[in-house]
A and B are shown apart, each in its own frame.
Chain A
Amino acid sequence: MSAVGVNLIAAAATRPRARPLRRLRQLPLALVIGGTVVAVLLITAVFGPLLAPDSATAGNIAQRLWNVGTAGHLLGTDGEGRDVLSRLIIGARPTMIAGIVPVLVGGILGTALGILAGMSRRGVRSLIMRTLDVFYAFPAILLAIAIGAALGPGVGNAIISLSIVLIAPIARVAESEVLQMRSADFMEAAYASGARRVRIARRHVLPNIAPPLIVYCTSLIGLCIVYAAGLSFLGLGVVPPHPDWGGMLNDLRSDVFTNSVLSLVPAIAIFIASIGFNLLGGGLRQLLNVRERDVAA
Chain B
Amino acid sequence: MTRFIARRLLLALPILLGVSIVVFITIKIVPGNPVATLLGPNATPQARAELTSRLGLNDPLPVQYVHWLWSALHGNLGTSISLQQGAGSLALTAFGNTMILVVAALLIALVGGVALGTMIALRPRSAIARLSSSSTLVLIAAPQYSVALLFVVFALRTGAFPTGEMHSTGSSGFGDLLSHLFLPALAAALAPLGIVARMFSVSLSEILSQEFVSSMRARGLRQRAIVRHAMHNALPSLLTITGLQVGYLLGGVLFVETIFDWPGIGQQLYQAISARDEPLIEAGVLIAAVVLVLTNVLVDTIHAAIDPRVRA
A264 touches B153 (CB 8 A): yes
CB distance from A240 to the nearest CB of B (A): 12
Is A147 interfacial (CB 8 A cutoff)? Answer: yes
A264 touches B273 (CB 8 A): no
A271 touches B141 (CB 8 A): yes
A270 touches B143 (CB 8 A): yes
CB distance from A38 to the nearest CB of B (A): 13
From 91 to 142 in chain A, residues with beta carbon under 8 angstroms from any chain B beta carbon are 130-131, 133-135, 137-142
CB distance from B122 to the nearest CB of A (A): 19
Is A143 interfacial (CB 8 A cutoff)? Answer: yes
Q: Which of A140, A256, A261 contacts B152 (CB 8 A)?
A: A256
CB distance from A228 to the nearest CB of B (A): 11
Chain B residue numbers with a CB within 8 Å of A141 are: 251-252, 254
Q: Which of B29, B145, B192, B292 contacts A139 (CB 8 A)?
A: B292
Chain B residue numbers with a CB within 8 Å of A145 are: 254, 269, 273, 281, 285
B18 touches A271 (CB 8 A): no
B288 touches A138 (CB 8 A): yes
Q: Mark B141-164, 1 if CB is under 8 A from A, else 0.
A: 111011001101100110000000
A152 touches B31 (CB 8 A): yes
B149 touches A267 (CB 8 A): yes
A150 touches B285 (CB 8 A): no
CB distance from B92 to the nearest CB of A (A): 16
Question: Which stretch in B79-87, B111-119, B242-250 binds the other chain?
Answer: B242-250
B146 touches A146 (CB 8 A): no
Is B106 interfacial (CB 8 A cutoff)? Answer: no
CB distance from A297 to the nearest CB of B (A): 8
Q: Which of B26, B153, B247, B274 contacts A147 (CB 8 A)?
A: B26
Q: Mark B2-34, 1 if CB is under 8 A from A, else 0.
A: 000000000000111011011100110111000
Is B195 interfacial (CB 8 A cutoff)? Answer: yes
Chain A residue numbers with a CB within 8 Å of B141 are: 222, 271, 274-275, 278
Contacts A134-B19, A253-B259, A268-B146 given; does A142 touch B293 at CB 8 Å: no
Contacts A133-B15, A138-B19, A253-B259 given; does A279 touch B146 at CB 8 Å: no
Chain A residue numbers with a CB within 8 Å of B18 are: 131, 133-134, 137
**Residue total for B at the interface (Cβ-Cβ under 8 A):** 59
Contacts A150-B26, A253-B149, A279-B137 given; does A130 touch B273 at CB 8 Å: no
Chain B residue numbers with a CB within 8 Å of A137 are: 15-16, 18-19, 289, 292-293
Chain B residue numbers with a CB within 8 Å of A264 are: 146, 149-150, 153
B137 touches A282 (CB 8 A): yes
Closest to B17 in A: A134
Chain B residue numbers with a CB within 8 Å of A274 are: 141-143
Give the complex CA separation of A257 and B164 in angstroms. Answer: 12
Interface residues on A, range: 35 or more
Give the complex CA separation of A60 and B288 in angstroms. Answer: 43
Q: Mark B259-288, 1 if CB is under 8 A from A, else 0.
A: 100000000011011100010011011001
Chain B residue numbers with a CB within 8 Å of A229 are: 143, 145
Closest to A274 in B: B141
A146 touches B157 (CB 8 A): no
Is B298 interfacial (CB 8 A cutoff)? Answer: no
A150 touches B27 (CB 8 A): yes
Is A294 interfacial (CB 8 A cutoff)? Answer: yes
CB distance from B170 to the nearest CB of A (A): 22
Is A249 interfacial (CB 8 A cutoff)? Answer: yes
CB distance from A146 to the nearest CB of B (A): 4
Q: Mark B227-262, 1 if CB is under 8 A from A, else 0.
A: 000000000000001001101101110110011000
Q: Mark B196-218, 1 if CB is under 8 A from A, else 0.
A: 00110010000000000000000
A230 touches B273 (CB 8 A): no
A294 touches B244 (CB 8 A): yes
Question: Which stretch in A1-9, A65-73, A231-239 binds the other chain?
Answer: A231-239
A263 touches B153 (CB 8 A): yes
B149 touches A146 (CB 8 A): no
CB distance from A131 to the nearest CB of B (A): 7
Give the complex CA separation of A130 and B150 in angstroms. Answer: 40
Give the complex CA separation of A150 and B278 in angstroms. Answer: 7
Is B138 interfacial (CB 8 A cutoff)? Answer: yes
Is A12 interfacial (CB 8 A cutoff)? Answer: no
Q: Which of A135, A152, A261 contacts B22 (CB 8 A)?
A: A135
Contacts A134-B19, A268-B146 given; does A296 touch B248 at CB 8 Å: yes
Is A51 interfacial (CB 8 A cutoff)? Answer: no
Is B140 interfacial (CB 8 A cutoff)? Answer: yes
Among B143, B192, B202, B288, the one with the most A-chain Cβ atoms within 10 Å of its Cβ is: B143
Other A-B contacts than A296-B191, A296-B192, 18 sampled, CB-CB below 8 A, are A139-B289, A140-B251, A141-B251, A141-B252, A142-B284, A145-B281, A146-B22, A146-B23, A146-B26, A233-B258, A234-B269, A260-B153, A263-B149, A268-B146, A271-B143, A275-B137, A278-B140, A292-B198
State the A residues within 8 Å of B (CB): 30, 130-131, 133-135, 137-143, 145-147, 149-152, 222, 226, 229-230, 233-236, 249, 253, 256-257, 260-261, 263-264, 267-268, 270-271, 274-275, 278-279, 282, 292, 294-296
Could you show 6 A-B contacts with beta carbons less than 8 Å apart? A138-B289, A146-B281, A256-B156, A257-B156, A267-B149, A278-B140
Give the 4 A-B residue pairs with the shortest CB-CB distance, closest first. A134-B18, A139-B251, A267-B146, A141-B251
